[in-house]
């Protein structure tokens, strides 16, 4: 997992985010593994909690690496990115995984306006980038 966090961090600086995610995602179901979802979550959360170098507790890195390992285990997911307005006029963002259209491996259901998902062929217009206080 540490290797893929480093690869993701470097490729995200050199390429577009969709290309970096594509590189880390790899191919679907190359092999079957017996690692459980909760074990994968614990491992990536522990790794990112080091808070050193590229190992920072960042949701999009967590989602991308989990997406890869779940795919290897035969579980199809997509990475979803969203934003929402917070109090004081701040905007926050989050990335999470969905399987069968439902969020997975999240402590609380994400309540964000979806701005991008991977993999996806959808086109997202600039209107999603404009959030008002009423959104």
Domains in the chain, number:
1
- Residue 36 counted as domain residue: yes
53-69 per-position pLDDT tens digit: 999 999 999 999 999 99
Mapped to the 3 state alphabet, what secondary structure does the chain carry?
Answer: CHHHHHHHHHHHHHCCHHHHHHHHHCCCCCCCCCCCHHHHHHHHHHHHCCCECCECCCHHHHHHHHHHHHHHCCCCCEEEEEEEECHHHCEEEEEEEEECCEEECCCCCCCCEEEEEECCCCCCCHHHHCCCCCC
pLDDT at 89: 86
pLDDT at 129 over 50: no
As a 3-state breakdown, the chain gives helix, strand, coil percent values, each rounded to 5, of 40, 20, 40
- Residue 80 counted as domain residue: yes
Query: Which DSSP helix (H) or strand (E) runs through 104?
Result: strand 102-104
- Which residue range(s) make up the domain with 88? 2-129
Tokens of 5: 């966090």
Going by pLDDT thresholds of 50, 70 and 90, the confidence category of residue 121 is low
- Residue 134 counted as domain residue: no
- pLDDT > 90: what percent of the chain? 70
* Model confidence, pTM: 0.82
pLDDT at 29: 58
- Residue 24 counted as domain residue: yes
Going by pLDDT thresholds of 50, 70 and 90, the confidence category of residue 34 is low
- Residue 19 counted as domain residue: yes
Going by pLDDT thresholds of 50, 70 and 90, the confidence category of residue 31 is low
- Residue 76 counted as domain residue: yes
């Amino acid at each position: 997992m540490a290797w893929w966090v480093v690869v993701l961090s470097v490729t995200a600086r050199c390429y577009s985010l969709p290309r970096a995610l594509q590189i880390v995602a790899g191919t679907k179901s190359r092999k079957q593994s017996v690692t459980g979802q909760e074990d994968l979550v614990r491992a990536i959360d522990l790794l990112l909690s080091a808070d050193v170098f590229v190992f920072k507790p960042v949701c999009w890195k967590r989602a991308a690496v989990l997406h890869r390992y779940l795919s290897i285990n035969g579980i199809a997911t997509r990475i979803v990115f969203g934003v929402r307005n917070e109090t004081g006029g701040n905007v926050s963002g989050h990335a999470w995984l969905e399987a069968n259209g439902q969020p997975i491996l999240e402590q609380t259901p994400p309540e964000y306006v979806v701005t991008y998902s991977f993999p996806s062929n959808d086109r997202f217009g600039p209107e999603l980038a404009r959030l008002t206080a009423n959104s």
